[in-house]
Chains A and B, each alone.
Chain A
C-alpha cells in the first residue's frame, strides 16, 4: 500500500537526514556563516579568494548565497535568521541598512580589531559613517565603488569624431550624433535602481555637490522642491530620448554588453561595469573609455560593500575577528578590488596592480577625500535610508518613464520623501 511504503521511506529518510544534519551542528572548529549575493562571475571568484585566505588560517567558510535584486532576497533571509536567533556570522550589507540593523542591537563590536589594524586612520571618514554606529565599528568595508562613471565604446566615438564629453552640453551633442548615426546612444536598463544611478549624476552635474548634499543627504524640502530639481528632472526626461525601445526591465550587464558589442555608445553605470568589459577581453583606453559623468568631475558618489558582523556566541567570535581582519588586509583589498572594479576601502593600498580605470578611481577618491566631495550615492543606499531611497526611486522612475512631467515630479518627490521619513 502506498501509505505503508511511504511511511517506511520517510522514516528512513528522516533517520538519514538526522545523521546528515549532525556534522554541521557538531562543529567546534572555527567557522564563519557568510550571507551574500555574489553568486556569479567575477564577484563570486573574488569572494572565493577571501574564503581561501580564511581556510588557510583554519577557519571554515559556510556559504549562504541568496541571489536576486541587489540583495533584496538576502535581506529577507537575514531577517528570518536573526528573528530565529540564528544570525549569520557576517552578512553583505549596503549602506544605511547597517545603521538600521545596528539600532536593533544585533551587531558585533569590532573596536578592538579596528584599533589594532588602524582602521580609523586608513578608511575614509565618509565610509566610516556606514561602518560605525555611535562610534563603534560594526562592519568591515570591502571596497569603495563609485557610481558617477560613464563607459564609452571608443570605436563608436572615434568613428564619429567624438571626444569624451566634459560637460552637459557636450554630452547631449555627442548623444545626438550617435543617435543620428543609427546606433543606440545610451545603453540603459529600465530598472528603478538604474534610473536612480543616472539621477545621482545628473543632480551633481546640475546643482553641484552642495546641492546634492542638501537635497539627497539632508533631504531638505526646499532643495527637493527647487527649480534646480526641476531642471534635473527635465534633463532626465531629455536622456530618456536616447535609449532604445527595449530598455525597460533590462539587466544592467546586458546594457553593458550593448556597449561592448558596439551597438550602443555610452552606458551610465557604476564601476562594477568595468568587470564586464574586462571579462569580454576589452582594454581600457583602447577599446573602451572610462570617464566621470560630464559635470561631476572632482566629485565621487560612492557606495560600499560591507560585511556587517553579527553578535555571535563566544565560540564563533574568534573566527569572526579573523574574517574582519582578512577583509581589511591590504593584500586582499588589492586582489579583490582589481577583479571587482572598485577602489579599495583603505586608502593606503598601492594601486600597482590596478588597470588605468582602477588607478583613476583610486586617485579620484584621494582627491575627493581631500576636498570633501566624497558623497554617498542615493541610488545605492548611501545617502538616505531604505524607506526614503525607495520612495525616491518611485518618483525618479516615474519621471524617467514619462509618467510624471518634471514639475509634477518635483511635487511628488517632496511628498514622497516626507511620507517615507518616519
Chain B
C-alpha cells in the first residue's frame, strides 16, 4: 500500500514533514496549545460567576431636605462636581447613570446600553424604597445560576470554535505561503508528486494536531472551567474536529494565490474579521437584525459554534446538526477543490 510513487506514500511522507516541522517549532506549539488556554483562563476569570456587579451612579446637586436619599445594595454612589463632569463621566462610562437631585429627581442614562438600563431600574427601585420583601409580593424570583447557563458556558463553545478557526486557517495558510516563498512548491511540482497529495497532506497533518488540540482544550474546559457537556463528549469532539478540518480547507484556499506571508496575512484577516464579529463567539448573533441571520448562519464559524452549543448546552446529538454539518461540509469541499484549481505552485 505504501510503495514508492503511490499516492498514499506521498501523503504519508508529506504529512510526516509537516508534523516534524510543527513539533520542532516551539513557537507554533505555543500559539496552538498554550495561547488558547491562557485566553480561556483570562476570560474565565473575567466572567466568573459571583455577586452581581453594582451599578455606578453619579449624583449631581446638593443634598437637601426635599431630596430623597439614593442608596441600595447594588448602587455604588459618588457625587459629581458639575454638569460638565456629569456629562463626561456618563460619556466615558465611568458612571452608568447620573441622578440630579431635586423634588422630582432626574435620571440620565443611555437607554442603548444594558448597564444604563439596569442602573435606571435600580435607581427607580431605590427611590421607590423597594425591598426584597416587597418584590416578593409582586413576583416570585428564581435566580438561575446552575452550570450550563452561565456566560462562561456559552463562551466556551465560542472560544473553541474561534480557536479551531484560527489554528486551522493560520496554521495551513502560513505553512503554504512559507513553502511558496522558499520556492519549495516549485521544486515539488517538477517531481511526479500528485498536486492533490500536497494539499491533502495539509489536511492529514492538521487532523493529527486537531485531535490533540481538541482533547487538550476540552479537558481544560471540563476540568478547569468546569463547563458541562450536556450531550455526548464524543459527538462534541467529532464536531470540533470536523470544524477544524473545514477551516484548514478554507486556509488552503485563502493561501492558494498569495506569494508572501504578508500577503496571506492580509487575506486571512479580511476573511476572518466578519466571522469574529458576527458568528456569535462572544454574544449571540440574534442581536444583529433579523434579515442578516440567514446569511450569518451560512458562515462556517456560525455553523460550528451553533452546533457545538447545541451539543454542549442542549444535549443534542451530532446527527441532529444536519444544516450545520452541511454548511461545514460545503465550505470544506468547495474550498479544497477550488484551491486545487487555482493554486499557485510557483
Whether chain B is bound by chain A comes out as no
Mark B residues whose CB is within 8 Å of A.
none
